[in-house]
Amino acid sequence: MSLYEVAVPTMKRTLTSLAAILAKAEAFAEEKKIDPSVLVNARLAPDMFPLKRQIQIASDSARRGTAQLAGIEAPVMADTEETFAELQSRISATIAFLESLTPAQFEGAETKVITLPVGGAELKFDGLTYLMSYVMGNFAFHSVTAYNILRHNGVVLGKMDYLGKP
Q: What is d(CA 90, CA 93) in angstroms, rounded to the nearest whole number?
A: 5
| pLDDT for position 1 | 87
Looking at per-residue confidence, does 119 or 145 come out higher? 145
| pLDDT for position 43 | 98
Any residues with CB less than 8 A from the CB of 63 and at least 6 apart, and which?
74, 75, 77, 94, 97, 98
72 DSSP assignment? S
pLDDT level of residue 105 (50, 70, 90 thresholds): very high
| pLDDT for position 118 | 84
> What are the angstrom distances between the C-alpha of 75 and each of 22, 95, 147?
23, 12, 25
Q: What is d(CA 136, CA 7) in angstroms, rounded to the nearest whole number?
A: 7
Domain spanning 3-163, CATH class = mainly alpha
| pLDDT for position 117 | 87
- Would you kindly state where each structural domain of the chain is located, as residue ranges? 3-163
